[in-house]
Amino acid sequence: MSSAVDLPRIANGTAARTVAQAKLNLFLRVLAREASGYHQIETLFCRLELGDDVVVRTNVRGRSLDCVGDAIPPEGLGPTERNLGWRAAAAYSAATGWPNDWAVEIAKRVPVGGGMGGGSADAGAVLRCLNALSPRPLSEHELLSLAAPLGADVPFLSIDAPLALAWGRGERLLKLPALPSRDVALITFPFGVVTRDAYGWLDDDRGGDGSDANALTLHDLSTWSGVCRLAHNDFEPVVSKRIADVAASLSMLRTTLATGRDRDAIALLAGSGATVFLVSDDLPLREVRAEGIASRTLRTRTATRVVDVEVSG
């Protein structure tokens, strides 16, 4: 699998780089809200070939994070200290006592706030890079313990797995063999959905009750036809109800699919939105376009492996 673009060349010194691959939730069920305010989830994570380019350097003075790229919204990414890449580096340093200083560089290509885990992927990539550079690397279990407080997507995006079943708050993971790579079309918008808002809408609309119980088998998750039968996103009806562009794009995709030959195609909201995606090898890109909606369409593929961390020193 090739990265989305060539990674920036690493200068002299100890550094690591990788691609922070975005993810899709091929199904996503949200359980009832706990007394703490959090929700348990049940989801099937799948990495994409699309990703941000991440470089981490440790032979520096001070701490810094620089983000560039067309995916950065006009209003920017907010305070540096709230960036998930920064928070991941700070968490690793606090837990291990190393490194005291670092520089993180991110070239953003994953739409921000689109439900594809772009910020979470950056955090996972930073953790993987620091662990590759560390004189005393953490075990996978220890790395997951650092990843979990950063968000429900970060644990999956911190491990070497292109596909995984996740539950709890995303920290409980079952790695699965990769499914065959398929084409993915992403309809993205110049706005995102704040995850906290999406959970609030979900609670408002269903009165705090969780998604229906569901029994899964490993066989269901071993083929695209099995996954297609399970494809569902609890956020989709509540986000579509409030954002007309999302509802129109989903309707367009499903109308188009009804005339196609691919019976294992999946059209869903990505995460908590606002991106809408189609997994199918049957439709040309020109047919996956939302007419009259302020959107753009990106093309990528599902990943069959996780891009390695490259170390230079």
Is residue 237 within 8 A of residue 271, CB to CB? The reply is no
What span, in angstroms and rounded, lies between the C-alpha atoms of 233 and 242? 15
Contact 116, 189 (CB under 8 A): no
- Residue pair 192/111 in contact (Cβ under 8 Å)? The answer is yes
Catalytic residue among 153, 183, 234, 245: 153
Q: Confirm whether 122 is a catalytic residue.
A: no
The verdict on whether 175 is a catalytic residue reads no
Catalytic annotation, residues: 23, 153
